[in-house]
Structure 1
Amino acid sequence: MNKGHTQLKFIKFHNPEELHQDTLTSISHLLFKRDELDFLNELIKEYTIDLISEKTFEESKAIATALVELQKELKVLLFKVEEHKNNLQTLLDNVIVPNELEDYKDGHYKVMFETIAFNAKFKTLKKQIYGLIKEIMKMNKSKRLLN
């Protein structure tokens, strides 16, 4: 059973105001994720010397690459969600267009699905970064205890 799919089906039954609120909430969460990505970048910069050691180099390299890709993906996703929010105005004008609400809801469904997928990738990467930093901190602590 695809849990994400069930949650997304629910989105289709929202009225325009609720769709707008979903979009604003998504934008807020994505902006927070952007700040978190900046923090994670700074964290990686702080531990750069330790990250390029032989033991963690390959994992660090993969994480750094994934972080850069996630930042690019976030930028594109934020643009899409903002554009989607701006397109809501077409629903609220007094011009009646056949299937306009259904088309907007389908677009909303797709944008929210992309947002949920991004959040899952972000969470996975964040766990990897914290796990690696934790490992490095343990190695540094044991080195200090030995000296």
Structure 2
Amino acid sequence: MDNYVNLIKLSVGSESVDTLIAWQDSRKPLYEDGCPRHVTRMWPKRESEILNGGSIYWVIKGVVQCRQQILRLDEVRGEDGIRRCAIVLDPEVHRTQNALKRPFQGWRYLKPEDTPADLPRGREQDDALPDDLNRALADIGVL
């Protein structure tokens, strides 16, 4: 698809892709459709571009490591009555080539041409490298 945009977000508290998946799995019973969500205060202004094929790229321990397709944006209101955006995600997590990313707050738009490629089929379950080696290889563009 063309004319789409992705989001990028820090996965705060995740130690690895596996812990992100485990956390999302633990919350499945909260949602009728079983799809994971990320609730954010800000509603994306580029909603139509996001919903035209965009994904959320997760930064874990300073490295982009995976992505999930964005299915829809749902309005949710907390007990405080404030309108928030639930970014509803496909449960399938696609591991990506590693790319270093400096810390930032909230989410950001990420152009398709700036996104790391998905890992080839069969490499998704490779043993994880130690964090320091992972960062060093990402830093020189090997992973």
Shorter-normalised TM-score: what interval?
Answer: under 0.3
Would you tell me which structure has more helix in proportion to its own residues? 1
Would you tell me which structure has more strand in proportion to its own residues? 2
TM-score (norm 1): 0.23
TM-score (norm 2): 0.23
Larger CA Rg, structure 1 vs 2: 1
Task: Between the two structures, name the one with larger relative contact order (CA 8 Å, sep ≥ 6).
Answer: 1
